Amino acid sequence: MTLKIDIDDSAPPYEQVRARISEQARSGELPVGYRLPTVRGLAESLGLAANTVAKAYRALEADGVIETRGRHGTFVAAAGSAADRELAVAAQAYVERARRLGQGEDAALAAVRDALRAAQGE
């Protein structure tokens, strides 16, 4: 696993750790079942506080990207299930909000496409 933190990046270090592990897990660079370094181990290798890495791991676990198996360690989770469910819930909430705003399908989809393009440009 290769991670680098860019001190000049406007994103906080925990967000950089979260985003990079998430990207590597989703791309398959970190395969399902891959054992991640301990919080302290990764913090030391990146020159970060353990709490920073712990915050990133908590966010990744909440997103369904990783799973903690107690004293056995932290692993890349099987892609899908939790993340897919959360995405479906978010999509449903978005649809309901767009309807309350009086927006149709075309406008709602255009807003999503714009948001995805903006996120890719980050």
Model confidence pLDDT, tens digit, residues 28-41: 888 888 999 999 99
User: Does residue 79 carry a pLDDT above 70?
Assistant: no
CATH of the domain at 26: 1.10.10.10
- Give the containing element (helix H, strand E) for 40: helix 39-46
SS3 69: coil
Same domain, 95 and 70: no
- pTM for the full predicted model: 0.65
Between 89 and 70, whose confidence is greater? 70
Residue 1 inside a domain? The answer is: no
Same domain for 88 and 68? Answer: no
Residue 35 domain flag: yes
Q: Report if residue 17 sits inside a domain.
A: yes
- Split at pLDDT 50, 70, 90, the class of 92 is confident
* 7 part of a folded domain: no
Residues 88 and 110 in one domain: yes
Residue span of the structural domain in which 94 resides: 82-120
The whole-number average pLDDT for the span 82-86 is: 66
